[in-house]
Amino acid sequence: MRDRCKIRCLALSSVLGALGTVLLLLGSLVEVLDLSVAALASLLVLFAHRELPRPYAVLLYAVTSVLSLLLRPFGTAVWLYVAFAGWYPMVKYHLDHFRRPLGWVCKLLLFYTLAAAGTAVAAAVFQLPILSYPWLFLVSMGLVGGAVFVLYDILLSRLAVLCAAKLRMRIQRFLYRP
């Protein structure tokens, strides 16, 4: 009985991995969809993290990242997923257990740290003169990026509740039925 559940979890996570890879490849082909497709692929990790045993979500992120990087290494959506959107739902689950102001401070600190590191790496690789940009541009991009991140975090929270309310019983019946 336990082996059957493991096989079903593996099959479900494999399907989710294939779906995430296809989404990321579509987002890489249509450059307008890069942010939204990375967010959609992260919803699959959120679903796996909430409904399947813990290792399956990490493996889903790893498989989707590796396959997407192998198939389309220069896609923006793929790199957004690998660098942030893929693993953030797993970290968010733990940061949500903090008290309200401390959790948001940790989330925003994580986001701004990764954004600054990503900007520094991009500046080093592509030899962009980041410091020559006007400070108003950098501040406005930081504010817009922070606002989009807050909306993304709220969306993940609401969809986790929706997933628990609508899909949990169906998934549990699929995974644990004899």
Q: Which residues contact 115 (CB under 8 A, 6 or more apart)?
A: 142, 145
Q: What are the C-alpha distances in Å from 136 to residues 43, 119, 140, 144, 147? A: 33, 16, 6, 12, 16
Higher-confidence residue: 64 or 33? 64
d(CA 110, CA 12): 30
How much helix, strand and coil, in percent to the nearest 5, is found in the chain?
A: 90, 0, 10
Residue 84 pLDDT greater than 70, yes or no = yes
Can you give the pLDDT at residue 161? 87
In the chain, where the domains are located:
2-176
134 phi/psi in degrees, rounded to 5: -65, 145
DSSP at 87? T
Sign of CA dihedral 62, 66, 67, 72: positive
Can you give the pLDDT at residue 130? 65
Confidence of residue 1 (pLDDT cuts 50, 70, 90): very low
Q: Which amino acid is at 31?
A: E
Task: Tell me the mean pLDDT in the region 6-29.
Answer: 89
Lowest pLDDT segment from 14-18, 48-52, 148-152, 170-174: 170-174
Q: Could you identify the residue written with the tokens 């520094």? A: 120
Can you give the pLDDT at residue 131? 64
pLDDT > 90 in the chain, percent: 39
**Tell me: the pLDDT tens digits for 41-68?**
999 999 888 888 889 999 999 999 999 9
Q: Could you identify the residue written with the tokens 């490849």? A: 25
Q: What are the C-alpha distances in Å from 61 to residues 18, 49, 90? A: 11, 10, 10
Residue 122 pLDDT greater than 80, yes or no = no
pTM of this structure = 0.85
Task: Tell me the mean pLDDT in the region 158-171.
Answer: 81
**Tell me: the pLDDT tens digits for 152-163?**
999 999 988 887
pLDDT > 70 in the chain, percent: 94
